[in-house]
Amino acid sequence: MGAPSTSAAQWLFPVSALVEQTPSRTTSSISVERELYDRARGVEFLFRLGVSLMLPVPSLYTAATWFHRFYMRFSMEDYHRQDVGAACIFLATKTEECGRKLKDVAKVFCSKVWGKKMEDIADDSQELEDSQMAILLTEEVLLEALCFDFVVRSPHTDLVDLLEARQETPEFEEYAFSIANDSYRTPLCILYPPRIIAVACYVLAQQYVEGTNSPSLSPPYPESMRFAVEFYNLNEMELVAVADALTILLEFYAAQDLSTMEYLSSIATISPPEKSPARQKLYQPFVQLAQGLQKPPEPGPPEGEPTSSSQPQPSPSKQPSEDTPNLSKSNGWIPVRSDPSAPDLPEKPKWQI
């Protein structure tokens, strides 16, 4: 596997930097568990904005990557996740050639934050003007944080290569793309190259289909794992990186509220690969973090707790919503919701994960 380009490499950080050295830790004393929780909430909010604006899905992946990069340079205490999410979306509409007017982005932003209908937000309202100013000011800081480096590669490209080369079943493909989309709710895009993330998503999808307890990253490999290793000719260091990416994904899923999401129980019980590096657990149960928030609730409805999204796609039991990017009809993947006020999930999903 080739090394990341110079531009991409400057945005890859060791896990230790995420745990100990982000501005949220060094200047604000925000715990890593709380920061990861709020990062996931911010990406969920960003996705909702993008869907309401009918942006192409790749632009949302770009915006989500910028969101994670931003908080490696600035503290979450100084810049609210919703302002940063909106700024990332607005900038993505320019660089991804899917332009939207600032007023349109700000109006959707107001609608989400304050829980108002779009038609009830007047074009000359003070809240709309304030929102536009907040987006513009945050965009300036975002440009500084990104050093005007807008290039982003998605793991989906490498995942498509894997899936096409082996001609996997549609069910397997949906699992893999679902996990790849969920990866943006974690900081994987600033920890590992897209190809490592793609292989991790591919291997974890294999676990769903084959029902094995733990991803095997040591010889003899399961057939599909062996294919991924040989397809990209992964070396020992890259296998360790895949193992850590898998561990982070598994920790993210296990942090969801499993008492209300039984369909996640099988993935939550998968053991991390043996090759996983020894380190502290990154994620704390989101229910505990939500209960431990000391500040008063923010105005308007919650932007959604950290969720797993599907492709991102709606559940077959619901109409497409503004929760996650919508590509096509799902075969049954159901978004994770750890917010009790979020819309109810169907009692029995079409298939379990």
**What CA–CA distance (Å, rounded) separates 349 from 331?**
10
Q: What is the pLDDT of residues 291-309, one digit of tens each?
A: 876 555 454 444 555 555 4
- Give 158 or 262, the one with higher predicted confidence: 158
Q: Which has more confidence, 269 or 100?
A: 100
Q: What would the CATH number be for the domain defined by 12-146?
A: 1.10.472.10
User: Is the pLDDT assigned to residue 50 strictly greater than 80?
Assistant: yes
Which residue matches tokens 């590509």?
Answer: 327
For the chain, what percent of residues have pLDDT higher than 90? 44
Q: How confident is the model at residue 346 (pLDDT cuts 50, 70, 90)?
A: very low
Cα Rg for the chain, rounded, in angstroms?
A: 19
Candidates 87, 186, 191; CA nearest to 139 is 87
What's the CA gap between 60 and 45, in Å, rounded? 11
| Helix, coil or strand: residue 305 | coil
Q: Give 346's DSSP letter.
A: P
Contacts of 104 (CB under 8 A, 6+ apart): 53
Instruction: Take residue 77 and report the two structure tokens written for it.
Output: 């205490």
| Token code pair at residue 253 | 């899923």
Answer yes or no: is pLDDT of 197 > 90: yes
- Residue pair 13/72 in contact by the 8 Å Cβ criterion: yes
What token pair was written down for 169?
């079943």
Domain map (residue ranges) of the chain: 12-146, 154-353
Residue with token string 């169907």: 346
